[in-house]
Every structure is written in structure tokens, then in C-alpha cells.
Structure 1
Amino acid sequence: MRFWNLLLLSLAGTVTAAQQIKPGKYYDRIVIVVMENQDYNDVEADSYYSTIAENHNGVLLTNFFAVTHPSQPNYIAMISGSTKGVNLDWDSNISRKSIVDLLEAKGISWKSYQEEYPGGCNTKSSINTYRRKHNPFISFKNIANDEARCAKIVPATELDKDIENNTVPQFVFFTPDINNDGHDTTLKYSSDWMKSYFEPRIGKSGLNNNTLFILTWDENKTWVIKPNQVYTVLFGPAVNRTSSTDDTKYNHYSILKSIEENWDLGDLGEHDVDATPLIIKD
């Protein structure tokens, strides 16, 4: 009897999770994948990255820019609308709001999947090939010091379980490890990882159902002499753009603005207020 009670509770939990989907204006789920330190033209010339838009109903943003240098402030900017108080890659402990506050206020589920992260609200700077500086959520005190919230920063291995159980949250931030994102390796290495790991998952209904995928880079590589342009592509079965390219000028704040508009979240009162939202559906 106890077994059947547990089974019924488990099934009820699955149904409840499905019922908690809050429809977005354009998409019901947004998945962001962030890679590291490559110049726009180099990524554009890559044999795999250059085909993502074409193969997955996508659009290449040809005039998209990172906010600053080095890495960490860009990650912080993506989810909070500001680099305030974060200038370098050292551990940061930020006392202000982020996209998490807006999502939770509207009942929108979220998770950050981090490769090689052990979970358990761990705040270490470096663990194997995981780097805290690429995990912006753990730098916000109201997340790191809240067990329920920081429990949503999870090892990337949980993604497959969530896809299988149809429990992938509505907002997903995925960070590959320091090798797979290309930081300590090469563009080709990261491209091969994206093709072998993420490509097969794009086609799974537990992940792609009315989902907008955003693939971007934190910053460019040759930043001393070049503008901070980064390769960014919007894609997924649900994406509906008549053009395969968009030359509107965007930056990382544009991603945040688009998330806010998709679920009518309001804003954080930072650079998200004046950011140009992505044209994510015609």
C-alpha cells in the first residue's frame, strides 16, 4: 500500500508540474547557453555553429555585442541588467535583485544547469572544470544564502532527467564547463561539444516544446583591438522569423529585456529598462 501511495504522489507531482506552466507572450520556455571568448567572424566560419540557424529554424543576430570585459561582468549583466560592483573575475557577493526575483514573483520556474558543479549550494571558485565566475546566480546573496533558491543551481547532468520527466523549467541557463565552452580549449573543441551534446537534445519534446533557444558568447577574444561583437543565434522549432538574419543592434541586456517582456515580469530598474528587446517572433 505504501508503494502505491508513493507512486500516486509522484504522479501527482508530475501532473502538478505540468499544470504550473505559465504561458509566455511568445514562448513558454527560454533556454540560454553561454560559450566563451571567441570573435564573431571565427564562430561564423565554424562548420557547425554556422549551420545552427539554418538547421533549426533560427536567426543570426549580426549586430550583437557583449557588455564589457572580462567574463564575469557579462554573466552578471545577463541576469541583473548591470555590472554594478563586478569588474573582474574574482568571487562576487551582490546585494541586489536579479531575473530570479522577477521570475519567482510571477511563478515562472527556473534552473541553472552548470557542468561539473556539485550542487549543494557550493560557493567555491573552482571545482574540477567548473568555474564560479561563469555561474552568475551564485554571486547573488539572496540566492546563495537561500537553500530553496540555490538548490535550483544544479549539475548539468540533471538536464537529461528533467527532459525525460518533462520537468525542464521555463527559464534555463546552461553553462558548459571551462573546456566545453571553449575558454581553456579551442573554438573547434566547443563546437564539437555543442554538436555532440546539445544538438541531440534540441529535438527532444521535453526540452523544445514552444521553446526559444539562445546561443551566445560572453565576450569576444581579440578585445584589445576589436569591438566586443559576439556571435548570437536564436533558434528552435517554435521560432518564427521570416528572415534568417537580424542586423538590429543588441547586447546582453537585450536578452534580459526579452525575458521580461515574454512573461510580463516588469523590470529590474537597471540597463534592462532601456535595452532593445530581441525580435524573437515576427
Structure 2
Amino acid sequence: MFKLFFLCAFLLGNLAHAADSSTGQRFKKVLIIVLENTDYDEALKQPFLKKAASQGALLEKMNGLTHPSQGNYLAMIGGDSFQVKNDDPVNLRQQNLIDLLEKRGLSWKGYMENYPGNCFTGATKGRYVRKHNPFISFDNISSDPNRCANIQDLKAFAQDAAAGTLPNFSLLSPDLDNDGHDTGSRFASAWLEKVLADKLQDPTFMKDLLVVITFDESRARNNNHIYTVLLGDSVKPGASNRQTLTHASILKTIEVEFNLGSLGRLDATSPAIEGIWR
């Protein structure tokens, strides 16, 4: 009886811990949308992005870590650019955000427009490019069919959004046209408005959700100042933040909110985002 009592207490404690760790105080789900190659000031000139900044919280001193794109994408889920200075395919034997999420029993997806599926590791396929899909560069994801199944085409985002089944963490990467890489920020802003504007006004969609709209890097090479806005029912509308931040700070904020611990890289030393919450 004595042993049975402690066994039950142990199991109940673990269940309670699991339940607590699956949600955050400020948000229970986060959706990161990444657009391409635009200076901070230029992004703020685009009508929808300007409107989003007034509805959410603008990170005024947000910077990419490196040029070109790929190192910044890797930092979003790896906490470091891993000294990647080009956009050639890389294969990293490194722990990443997915390991931390799954350890806590939290769900995740990558919504990669035109991604072919089936653990595809090629550099390009139509307007899809691997360099904008950080998940596939980590060996413990690309070599695991069960994990690869969580990397899906953008159509899955529309389905999950309509069904109310967005995971705890998701990262959405449009193709080379819709992210502005080959078309410019005006095109990307207009595309994002079509995809997101109505959803931002939908209380059911936005409940317990943090939406992060960011860019991978600036167009200018002498700096890396980028537009980033946070939106959600936990964010003060019209707030601004003047901390010096990078993509690693977004990762740090997620780690803190979901009690994930740290990867021990730039996420460990970067500040979490403060001063914008209700």
C-alpha cells in the first residue's frame, strides 16, 4: 500500500507537470511567418505591414544575425547560425527547438510553400528552396520520416487554421515569389494580407496564439536591421520594444514561455522579449 501510494503520487505529479508544460502564461501557440530581404524602413512603408505594426508590437531594434539568408533561418530553431555563410545545403548534427518541444510533449509543424514532402533534401523544387526551410538542415529531422511528416506544404496551414488545429509551434515560409525574395516587399506584403488579414480579426483563430511576422535579413549588407511585429491577445496593441534583439531572442521567448530549457547557444544569452505584453 505504501509503495502504491507513492507510485500514484509520482504518476499524478508527472501528469500535472506535462499539463503545465503544454501551455504558456501569455500564449499557447506561436506562428512565425518569415518574409525575405527587406530593410526595416522599407517594410514599414508597406500598407499591410504598417497596419500590423499598429495592431501589434513593433520590435524597433531587431536584427538578423548574418548574411545571406540561411544562417538566420537556422538560428530561428537552432539558436545559432553555426557559422553558415552561404545558402548551400548544410547537414547539421545538432540539437534544435524540435527536440525541446517534443521532450515536453508539444506539437510542431513547418509550413513550407511548395515543399515536395517525403524528407526531400534537394536544394530547389519549383519555387521552393531548401535554404528557407531550416528543419530539413538538421539531421535528426531529415533522417526521421515521422518528423519529416510535420514539414508540409502551405495548403496544410489553411486546413489547420480552418480546423483550429495549429500546433504549439509553427514556422511558415512562403515560396520565392510570395516571400518577396524575387518580387519585393510590396508583393510580399500584399500576399500576406490576403493570407492573414481576416485571420487576425478572428477571435477563434487568435485565441492563445502569438503571431510573429519577421524577415530573414535586410537588403542592405552594411547592417541587418529588420522589421518584426508580434500580434496576439497577449500583446499590447501599438506597443514598441527597443531592446537589441535577434532571431535568437524570439527563440528564447518561446523557450521561456513553454518552459523548454535552452539549447545552450545564443538562445541562452539572448534576452527574451519584454515590455510589450498585456
User: Alignment RMSD, CA only?
Assistant: 1.7
Partners of 1:115 and 1:156 within 8 A in 2: yes
In 1, distance between residues paired with 2:20 and 2:273?
Answer: 26
Aligned counterpart for 2:73 among listed residues 55, 75, 93: 75
Partner of 2:266: 271
TM-fit CA distance, 1:220? 0.3
Taking structure 1 as reference, are residues 177 and 169 closer, same or farther at Cα in structure 2, changes over 3 Å only? same
C-alpha distance after superposition, 1:160-183 (max 9, x if no partner): 211232221110100011111100
Runs of 4+ in 1 over 6 A off after TM superposition: none
Partner of 1:258: 253
Q: Which amino acid in structure 2 is aligned with residue 38 of structure 1?
A: T
Partner of 2:42: 42
1:191 correspondence with 2:189 = yes
Partner of 1:6: none
Partner of 1:232: 228
In 1, distance between residues paired with 2:263 and 2:51?
Answer: 35
Taking structure 1 as reference, are residues 179 and 243 closer, same or farther at Cα in structure 2, changes over 3 Å only? closer
In 1, distance between residues paired with 2:155 and 2:238?
Answer: 35
Matches within 5 A, 1:51-62: 51-54=51-54, 56=55, 58-62=56-60
- TM-score of the two chains, using structure 1 as the length reference: 0.87
C-alpha distance after superposition, 1:198-244 (max 9, x if no partner): 22233345632211111111000011x3x2100000112x1332752
Partners of 2:21 and 2:259 within 8 A in 1: no
Partner of 1:281: 277
Higher helix share: 2
In 2, distance between residues paired with 1:134 and 1:20?
Answer: 33
Aligned counterpart for 1:151 among listed residues 149, 154, 162: 149
Taking structure 1 as reference, are residues 263 and 67 closer, same or farther at Cα in structure 2, changes over 3 Å only? same
Matches within 5 A, 1:82-121: 82-121=80-119
Report how many aligned residue pairs link the two structures: 259
Partners of 2:57 and 2:235 within 8 A in 1: no
Q: Percent identity?
A: 36
Partner of 1:32: 32
C-alpha distance after superposition, 1:38-82 (max 9, x if no partner): 01111112222111132x3x1111111110110000000111111
C-alpha distance after superposition, 1:229-276 (max 9, x if no partner): 00000112x133275211111111100100100100000011110001
The alignment partner of 1:185 has SS state of coil
Taking structure 1 as reference, are residues 37 and 74 closer, same or farther at Cα in structure 2, changes over 3 Å only? same
Partner of 1:11: none
In 2, distance between residues paired with 1:207 and 1:179?
Answer: 26
1:203 correspondence with 2:216 = no
TM-fit CA distance, 1:120? 1.7
Q: Which amino acid in structure 2 is aligned with residue 254 of structure 1?
A: S
In 1, distance between residues paired with 2:113 and 2:237?
Answer: 34
In 1, distance between residues paired with 2:74 and 2:86?
Answer: 11
The alignment partner of 2:267 has SS state of coil
Structure 1 gaps, min length 5 = 1-18
Partner of 1:15: none
Partners of 1:93 and 1:141 within 8 A in 2: yes
Taking structure 1 as reference, are residues 246 and 184 closer, same or farther at Cα in structure 2, changes over 3 Å only? same
Partner of 1:244: 239
- TM-score of the two chains, using structure 2 as the length reference: 0.89
Partner of 2:175: 177
The alignment partner of 2:212 has SS state of strand
Aligned counterpart for 1:220 among listed residues 206, 218, 221: 218
The alignment partner of 2:58 has SS state of strand
Partners of 1:85 and 1:94 within 8 A in 2: no
In 1, distance between residues paired with 2:37 and 2:142?
Answer: 26
